[in-house]
A and B are shown apart, each in its own frame.
Chain A
Amino acid sequence: MLPSSGQEVYDMIMREIEPDLVTDQIELMGEKYKDETPEQKKARGERYQKAFAEYDVRYAQYLTEQQTMVHSFKRNLIASVERNSSDDDQAKIDSLESAFSTTA
């Protein structure tokens, strides 16, 4: 599936870091950890803290890739249009020069 929303982007990255923090798992958190001890809870909180820190790093990478892709796409499109335009003009000139060429 293509990430068409912020939630999908978040889930796509977080799923590889901490499955507990994917959006569809959040609601299950209370039931899943109802019997944990205070120590376990603290450890889990610290794990989440590290997971979010890791998310920030990966998200920054992801965003850079996307921005690069957008810029590259725009550059390629512009180049393509310019090339087509130039080819069209050149083809017209070639055709006309040929049509009115002189021979010995």
Chain B
Amino acid sequence: MMRKHPSLFGEQRLLFFVEVPKAQVEEMKDVAGKAEKQLLAGLPDKPELAIQIQQFKIDAAENDGAKLKASFEAGMKSLAQALFDKDKASASTVAELTSLAARVQGKMEASNAPVTLNVDAVTKNLTIGVGEVRYLTPETAKMIEDNLPGCPEDMLRAIKEAAKEAVPGSRILEGFTNFSAAMRAIPLEHRVLALLVLTGKKESRDIKDTAIQGKVDSFVAYCKGDTGVQQLMKKVRGKFMLIKGEENAEKRKDSDAKIPGHALGLCKNFDEKPNPTQADKNLMLAKLMMAGVDVSNEAAVFDKKLSPEARFPPLQGDAFDLALNKAMGALSFLANLYEQVQGVVQKPGEKKKEAAAAKAAESAGSAPEDATVTAQRTKLLGEMKVAPGTSVDAYIAAKEGLQGTKQREVAGKEGDVVTKKGLAAAASATPADTAALATAEATLSKAQKELKELTTDVDQLKLMKTGAEQSNKDIRENVDALRTLLATDLVKDREGASALAEFLKGLGCSLILPVGLELKISASGGVPSLVNMGKFNNVVLSQLKKDPGGVITFDALGNVTSKPEDFASALKSLRAHYIAESAKPK
């Protein structure tokens, strides 16, 4: 039968039917069916039998309604489980489940189903659980934190862990409710003290203010006398011990390696670089940030004379701070990478251009001119555009073919000139021989000039191809390095991952990189660019409701024109903004 029970908070509870063994149900149905038939047969003579027949009909409807309800419930549970499996422990999953539960309820009511499925306010608001996994909702986590300002973090975590297990109707939940109510009777500034006394970490007799001591004693006495609170405290104590054990293990691990992540490995390669540029340093700082290193003392980081412990101190702070630092590192890394790629490849006015020009000058035997190289590249790209579908390799091969033909043509014309020189120098030479030599020399000169142009074209094309391939290689390597860093460091611990997920949710973006990312070498032999990298910047700025370009700017070529530190500044502001938004009543 379906029954409605009031919950602890007065709302209707989500109830499930107690399963009766199937064989027993079938037997009962069989007996009921026979009885109903007999009654129906006697109905013309005894209309009052309608009362009993009616009861059979009602019982059948109750039974069928239970089956329908169970079917709804099973569907909802399997969906919820699928969501959890897909994206464990993310805040968005919890929100989605809450929303799903509400939708299920609304849908069922709208569908006129012969069942009532009201999602218990306690179930919805305290925890969302499927199978053996339960998650604390953000509202409940906030409620706990609000009640225990300044509570030691490990203790707070233990209470939250215990609250997760507070299933509706349980003594733990009752204890949690009573505990919260009792806690509110203690002035805000003394709640942590009361908690410490309750858990035996402090003595109430040490409290000098007798009024406060009295309140704390009353609180402790109430908690010790309430079985629900006792159940809760037992659970909290167990969780607390577990957490302390984990932390001790972590500390032991940390004492073995006081340098976060793989900072040492990262810097070993860096230290071996002969002349690192500022861009190299920026990238390294960003990587170290992602590894959880405090890079505020930049000079120390790059001072090889210092000990590794002094160079790479771990960042201090809560999980949110650590995650924020790592996220900032990731964004700085991307910004620096972008800047470096653009600087090295997109702007040939620096290193690449000089190398290309020098190579061109060497082969062409003329002084390198920026404008000449640019004009030549523009000409080559223009030629390729009128031959759609021509790949860089095919175009180079075609040019080399022309070059070979021209070389053979030049060799032939050189022979012709030699022959004609002989004729013109002979004693029997006529004015016609002299004229023929002049014509042959002019033809040779023209062919030599064309060969020189073709050779320069081929060399320039090869340089462009090599540059594009190198930049792609750099990007791939850096993206791979970033992906590794993100996978191994950024979301290593659960608290950090959770805080980061919240943070990224605030950003409205994700730092997950695709597997098997491929960057194409452009058909034109041009330079690949990360033109959309500025999106990260725009996301940050839009979250801050600032005009894009107000903090970090990218020029027309996509170059970062402000410092990576601005990213940090923007993200810190964002964090404050996000925390303020989260604190607003919903």
The complex places the Cα of A99 from the Cα of B510 at a distance, in Å, of 11
Q: Mark A24-43, 1 if CB is under 8 A from B, else 0.
A: 00100110010000000110
Interface positions, chain B 80-118, Cβ under 8 Å from A, are 82-83, 86, 100, 103-104, 107-109, 111-116
Contacting residues, chain B, for A95 (C-beta < 8 A)? 509-510
Q: Does B275 contact A (CB under 8 A)?
A: no
Interchain CA distance A44-B47 in the complex, whole Å: 7
Residues of chain A at interface, number, CB under 8 A: 50
Q: Does residue B519 face the partner (Cβ distance < 8 Å to A)? A: yes
Task: Give the residue of B51, B65, B76, B523 whose beta carbon is less than 8 angstroms from that of A104.
Answer: B523
**Do residues B528 and A102 form an inter-chain contact, with CB atoms below 8 A?**
yes
State whether the Cβ of B58 lies closer than 8 Å to any Cβ in chain A. Answer: yes
Task: For the complex formed, measure the closest distance between the CB of A98 and the CB atoms of chain B, giving whole angstroms.
Answer: 5
A contacts with B: majority SS: helix
CB atoms of B43 and A45 under 8 A apart? yes
Q: A9-B61, A74-B75 are known; give 14 further A-B pairs, CB within 8 A.
A: A5-B62, A6-B60, A7-B61, A21-B54, A29-B51, A42-B45, A44-B47, A48-B43, A52-B50, A59-B57, A59-B60, A74-B72, A77-B79, A85-B86
- B179 shortest CB reach to chain A, Å: 35
Query: Within the complex, which residue of B40, B79, B526, B533 is in contact with A78, where a contact is CB–CB below 8 Å?
Result: B79
Contact A21 B62 (CB under 8 A): no
B68 x A8 contact (CB < 8 A): no
List 13 A–B pairs whose Cβ atoms lie within 8 Å, in order of A's numbering.
A6-B58, A6-B63, A6-B65, A41-B47, A45-B45, A48-B43, A52-B53, A77-B76, A92-B510, A92-B512, A96-B514, A103-B531, A104-B522
B512: A residues at CB distance < 8 A: 92, 96
**A70-B71 contact given A3-B112, A102-B522, A103-B529, CB 8 Å threshold:** yes
Within 8 A of B (CB), among A70-104: 70, 73-74, 77-78, 81, 85, 92-93, 95-104
Number of interface residues of B (CB under 8 A): 64
Tell whether, in the assembled complex, residue B43 and residue A49 are in contact, meaning their CB atoms are under 8 Å apart: yes
Contact A5 B54 (CB under 8 A): no
For residue B527, give the distance in angstroms from its CB to the closest CB of chain A.
8
Please tell me which one of the listed residues B40, B53, B509, B531 contacts residue A101 in the complex, with CB atoms under 8 A apart. B531
A82 to chain B, nearest CB (A): 9
Q: Is A101 in contact with B65, judged by CB distance below 8 angstroms?
A: no
Min Cβ gap A5→B in Å is: 6
Tell me whether A4 and B47 are in contact in the complex, defined as CB-CB below 8 angstroms, given that A100-B519, A103-B522 are known contacts: no
Q: Counting CB contacts under 8 A, is A57 at the interface?
A: no
List the A side residues contacting B40 at CB < 8 Å.
49, 52
The reply to whether A2 and B86 form a contact with Cβ atoms under 8 Å apart is no
Q: Which residues of the other chain, A, contact B532 by a CB distance below 8 angstroms?
A: 98-101
Contacts of A66 in B (CB 8 A): 64, 68, 113-114
* Residues on the B chain within 8 Å of A61, using CB: none
CB of B111 to closest CB in A, whole Å: 5
Say yes or no: B62 contacts A6, CB within 8 Å. yes
- Chain A residues near B103: list those with CB within 8 A: 77
Interchain CB contact under 8 A, A4 and B107: no
B50 and A81 within 8 A (CB): no
Contact A4 B2 (CB under 8 A): yes
Q: Which of B105-144 contact A (CB under 8 A)?
A: 107-109, 111-116
Q: Which B34-51 residues have a C-beta within 8 angstroms of A? A: 40, 43-48, 50-51
Residues of B within 8 A of A100 (CB): 475, 479, 517, 519, 530, 532
In the complex, the answer to whether B2 meets A2 with C-beta atoms within 8 Å is no
A52 to B521: give the CA distance in the assembly, Å.
Answer: 79
